[in-house]
Amino acid sequence: MTKPMRIAQEAARPVALAATKRFVLVILPSYSPFDVTSAIAALEAANRHQRRALYTWTVVSVDGAPVRAPNGLSLAVDGALPKVDRSDSVLVCGGEGFEADCTLPLLAWLRSADRKGATLGGIAGGVHALAQAGLLSRRQVSTHWSLRKVMMETHPEVDVLRSIYVCDTRRVTCAGGVSTLDLLLHLIAQDHGSETATAVADRLVCSTPRTSSHDQTISEHCRTGVRHEKLTAALQLMQSELENPWTPGEIAEQVGLSTRQLERLFSKYLSATPKVFYTKLRLENARMLLQQTNMKIIEIGLANGFSSQSHFSRVYRKHFGISPHAERGVAGG
């Protein structure tokens, strides 16, 4: 017999016979069905364990119409954006197409829900809807790692962490995917104690639930297959500063190597010079911003360390075989 897993040790003690709580899941056209079903599965499992309705949920879209996810799955909804009050928890579920998803009716509804005192949450791209509505200013949040730099560029007033989820006063945000279940387990533990959350994890065969302290991405040496400590440190420096790139000499000094030693490491493990590899990182980030935001091309170039739009366009075309203008056209469909 295995020892029970302890869930969310920082969670509050259960409240005896707490009132039923409603979750309103708002699905945007870019949403991931996995996020929605993970959240509902956790809530349903909590009800089943306690043999009473701890939670109810309603799945809605902005206009009440079914939503077809990017993977082709179409989901019927319970209706359009409903009235909410302070006892409700809202989870906005979105993905990489969040720019088009952030419509004026949605933003107005989110602001109204905030005024009513509802708890507001975002999953992956849904976090950007909350930010666009001006509801995350000076708050710490989590979003999917692929959208993190986009959020940092478009909403500098928001502190974007690398954590799988973040819970703040009347705000909950998470990276999506498996972290959606981690977040729901944490919320269930807050409401009804760790025993109930553990039972939910057991029902869902979730043997290793994570806390908000967990980083959502694997370490750099696992991602690249490199286990050299100083090279890993150099890669982390590059990732942390794309707007004002370090020179190879500055990077080498920071990690305690000579420039020549750094070049040898890059050549051996990554088959590239530090300069070429750094440029690749900056271009890949620029491509993400082109595809997922409405930032001006010159702003994207400057944000990734290119001195002018012409310089940015020239290097971009050489690397990807397409201009930034054309890239944006293709991304727009």
Q: Does 13 reside within a domain? A: no
Q: What is the pLDDT of residues 11-63, one digit of tens each?
A: 444 445 678 999 999 999 999 999 999 999 999 999 999 999 999 999 999 99
Q: Indicate if 245 and 185 belong to the same structural domain.
A: no
In the chain, how many domains are there? Answer: 2
Using the 3D structure, point to which of 173, 203, 233 is the last residue of a domain: 203
Q: Indicate if 160 and 285 belong to the same structural domain.
A: no
Using the 3D structure, point to which of 176, 203, 230 is the last residue of a domain: 203
- Nearest CA-CA partner of 185 in 5, 31, 2: 5
Q: Indicate if 174 and 266 belong to the same structural domain.
A: no
Q: What sign results for the dihedral spanned by CA atoms 182, 216, 92, 132? A: positive
Q: Does 1 reside within a domain? A: no
Q: Indicate if 186 and 236 belong to the same structural domain.
A: no
Q: Indicate if 37 and 136 belong to the same structural domain.
A: yes
Q: Does 215 reside within a domain? A: no
Q: What is the pLDDT of residues 74-107, one digit of tens each?
A: 999 999 999 999 999 999 999 987 788 899 999 9
In the prediction, which pLDDT does 332 show?
55
Q: What is the pLDDT of residues 157-193, one digit of tens each?
A: 999 998 999 999 999 999 999 999 999 999 999 999 9
96-105, 143-152, 214-223 — which is least confidently predicted? 214-223
pLDDT tier for residue 312 given thresholds of 50, 70 and 90: very high
- Specify the CATH number for the domain of residue 270: 1.10.10.60
Q: Does 317 reside within a domain? A: yes
Q: Does 9 reside within a domain? A: no
pLDDT tier for residue 269 given thresholds of 50, 70 and 90: confident
Could you tell me the two tokens for 296? Answer: 């001006």
Q: Indicate if 42 and 141 belong to the same structural domain.
A: yes
Burial class (CB in 10 A: 0-12, 13-18, 19+), 34: middle
Percent of the chain residues past pLDDT 70, beyond the cut:
90
Q: Does 44 reside within a domain? A: yes
Q: Indicate if 62 and 154 belong to the same structural domain.
A: yes
Q: How far apart are CA 280 and CA 51, in angstroms?
A: 54
CB-CB contact of 54 with 21 (8 Å) = yes
- Most confidently modeled of 9-18, 88-97, 207-216, 290-299? 88-97
Could you tell me the two tokens for 245? Answer: 């790139």
Could you tell me the two tokens for 70? Answer: 């990017």
Q: Does 7 reside within a domain? A: no
Residue type at position 126: G
Q: Indicate if 238 and 196 belong to the same structural domain.
A: no
Q: Indicate if 38 and 140 belong to the same structural domain.
A: yes
Q: Indicate if 224 and 197 belong to the same structural domain.
A: no
In the prediction, which pLDDT does 236 show?
86
3-state secondary structure string across 166-193: EEECCEEEECCCHHHHHHHHHHHHHHHC
Q: Indicate if 69 and 146 belong to the same structural domain.
A: yes
- Specify the CATH number for the domain of residue 101: 3.40.50.880
Asked whether residue 224 carries a pLDDT value surpassing 60, the answer given is no
Only one residue has tokens 């349903």, namely 44
Q: In the predicted model, what is the mean pLDDT of the chain?
A: 89
Q: What is the pLDDT of residues 231-268, one digit of tens each?
A: 988 998 998 899 999 999 999 999 999 999 999 999 98
Q: Does 144 reside within a domain? A: yes
Q: Which domain holds residue 288?
A: 220-331
Report the residue count for the chain.
Answer: 333
Q: Indicate if 267 and 179 belong to the same structural domain.
A: no
Asked whether residue 196 carries a pLDDT value surpassing 60, the answer given is yes
